Each structure stands twice: as structure tokens, then as C-alpha cells.
A and B are shown apart, each in its own frame.
Chain A
Amino acid sequence: MAPMFALALPVLTAGIGFTVDSASIRLAQARLQVAADAAAAAAARRLDAGSNPATEAQRVVELNMPAESYGTVLASSDIVGGNWNNSTRVFTATNSNRNAVRITARQAAANGNAHELIFGSVFGFDSIDLAATATALCPTHPSLSLISSGTPSRIAVVTMGNPCSAGSGHASNLTCYWATPDGNPIVRVDNWNPGVTTITVRITSPTQFAGTFAFTAPGAGQFWVMVPNVRLTPALPNGSTTNIVFRIQSSSPTVPATRINTTGTATYNNRLNTSASLPGTALCAFSNVAAVSRIVN
């Protein structure tokens, strides 16, 4: 019995070492994944112009795996901004039109913080490299989308209708205007200013909707903007329509008078093409907007 046990001892020790180290590796891997997920989700909410996703990713990783205990978990080269294609489910690293962030958290020799094994050293393996990757898609801006990123000549509201769709209840030779299913008008606003710009728009008529609303454009371009706090009742087929008139009030920062049109108006009516999501290209929400990022990979 004793000789057999003596012979089996190295095998048993190896088995035990493998079992315990596998369990500890699994725990370390899970911890890395949690840190990567949290950092990617947080960084994806900072993809709007003027924010820094890399700084946010580093901050959140530090919250979950402090450098004091875990060393350099997230190297700056492991924070990659890019574009996530939802239909092909492929992430492409790019600096333009980014909608996603990919984070790779590591406990690796290259970062000087490889995961130390408990029994591995008996067999000559002191540590092992671990990595966890998370890709998060930015939340879609709920009230702003992009028509075109070309630079318009002025900040202005623009009347922009489309042929009425089959669902609108109107003949297709008539002009309809975009609105949410709740009846919020979606108006086109152009921004000349290349930086982040808050534009205030005034509704001049009808009197029941008179007032102002503001939105923040991430840069120059033509945008679809959902008008808050206004609910239009759709016009009946062949019925009369109600006009709603918009005018630019101001911009922040202010721009030269030749670059803003505060006198021109855009007129929409309540023949509505409704759309659950905004028309145009979706934009990432600003970090202070209550909108959820999606961990996609």
C-alpha cells in the first residue's frame, strides 16, 4: 500500500495543484471580465465629442481592480475606440464615426502583474497570463440623429418634408413630416459650428406650443432633432392641417452673425410620418443622458 501511495504521490500532488489553480484562475478571470465589462460600458457613454473614453475606462478599472493590489490591469493600448457593426457583429478599430469601445483587461507578464499560481511553482510555472475583453456599444441618443456631417453655411432650422408613407394615412403625393409615435415633431437643424454647440430653438406658433427648447449638437452637420414637450395630433386624411413654426433663437458658444439664421423659420404641419427610432444615422448619447450602453461582446 505504502509503495503504491509513494508512487502515486507526485500524480496526486499534480492533480491537486491543477484543481486548486484552475479554480483560482477561474476566479481571477471572472474578476478581470467584471472590470472589463464595467470599464467598456462606462467608456461607451463617453464617445460623444468632448469626452474622453480612455480616461473613463482607466478610472472604472481602477475602481474594480485597484493598481495597488493588481498592478497595471488596463494598458492604454488596450483601450480601442471603433465601430461595431450590429448585423455582422464585427468590431473595427477606427477614429471616425465611433460607436463602440473595446477594452482588454490583463493580468500578464507584459504588464508586470501576471496571475500568480498557488501550486504551479512546484512544477515550474510561477504565473500565468490572463486577459478579458469586453466590447460595449454606446447608447443611442434618444432625441438627436445625423442627416449629414458636411458643414452647412449657417446655424438654421430647415423645413424638410418627405412623401407621405403608407402608414401615415395620407396620399403619397402629399408632403409629410417626421414625428415620433407620440407625436413629437422631428425637425431638421443645421449646425455650422465645428465644436460642441448648444442650440436653442423657439416655437413661434401655434400659441399653445410657443416656447423654446435646446439641444446639444456634437459638431457641424445637419441633424434631426426631436422636439420635447410637444404632442401633435395627426391630421385626418383629407382633413385640415395645423402648422408649427420653428426659428433659431441662439447658440452657445455664440457664432458670427453671418453664421446663424435667427430670422428664417421652418414650418412643419401635422401630416406625420411616424418613426419609432429617429431617421438618419444614430448618434451616441451624451454622458449625462440617461441611456443604456450595450455590452455586445
Chain B
Amino acid sequence: MLPLFLVMMCGTLQYGVLFYTWNVALNGARNAARSLAVGKVNAEGAETIMVDALPAWVTADPDAEDDIDASATDNVVGSDVTAQITFPSSRATFLPLAPMPANVSATVRMVKEA
């Protein structure tokens, strides 16, 4: 009984943390894309916004920089800008449990306004 109970609890935590992290990453990408669209930051600044928004458990360890792929593309007024962040889902969970998507990825595209 206990193993079943533990599996259920761990599964809940596992997916809870995954969805929370995904939501935070999406919010970060949204803020980065909007900042880029209104001309508040350049592409590099948008990438920083996305990485800074991530929770500590994603960015904490020294290899994080290699694993997290934040990219932003700027454009001229009237054209599309993109903010995208991708990292392995193992960074957003605490147990190597299956089934999990390979990556957590959030992409937001907006129109450049200024």
C-alpha cells in the first residue's frame, strides 16, 4: 500500500512542479516579447528577462547555462518579434519519472510596436 501511496504523492508533486515551472517560463517569455515589442529592451535584454524569470531550481546548478536555451529576435516596427525559452523537463521536476515531455518550451510572438 505504501509504495502505491508514495507513487501517487510523488506523481502529484512531479506534475505540479512541472506545470508551475512551465507557467513561469511562459510568463517570462510573454514579458520578454512584450518588452521587445514596445522597444523597452533589445534581443539580449529579452533573453535576460526570460532566464531571470525562471525559478531557482531551474537555474541554480552550474550547468544550467548550457541547458537553458533562451533566444529572442527583434525586428522593425510592424513586423513580428519572438521570445523563446527551452530547457530539459528534468530541470523542472525532481524525479526522473516517466512519462514526461523531453523539454519545457515556451514561445511568444508579438508585433513590434516601437
Contact = CB atoms under 8 A, between A and B. Distances in A.
Contacts of A128: none
B102 interface: no
A20 B15 CA distance: 6
A139 B109 CA distance: 19
Contacts of B39: 290, 292
B87 interface: no
B19 interface: yes
A60 interface: yes
B78 A287 contact: yes
Given A16-B8, A45-B113, A27 B77 contact: no
A31 B19 contact: no
B111 interface: yes
B103 interface: no
Given A5-B1, A42-B110, A290-B114, A37 B19 contact: no
B27 interface: yes
A52 to B, nearest CB: 14
A2 B38 contact: no
Contacts of B77: 288-290
A67 interface: no
A16 B114 contact: no
A93 interface: no
Query: Interface range on chain B: under 10, 10 to 19, 20 to 34, or 35 or more?
Result: 20 to 34
A5 B110 contact: no
Contact of A60 (B15, B34, B109): B109
A285 to B, nearest CB: 9
Contacts of B20: 23
A120 B44 CA distance: 41
List 4 tightest A-B contacts by C-beta distance, closest first: A23-B19, A42-B111, A63-B109, A290-B114
Given A19-B12, A41-B111, 19 more contacts: A12-B8, A19-B16, A20-B16, A23-B15, A23-B16, A23-B20, A23-B23, A27-B19, A38-B111, A41-B37, A41-B110, A42-B110, A45-B113, A56-B111, A288-B78, A290-B113, A291-B114, A292-B38, A292-B39
Interface of A: 1-2, 5, 12-13, 15-16, 19-20, 23-24, 26-27, 30-31, 34, 37-38, 41-42, 45, 56, 60, 63-64, 139, 287-293
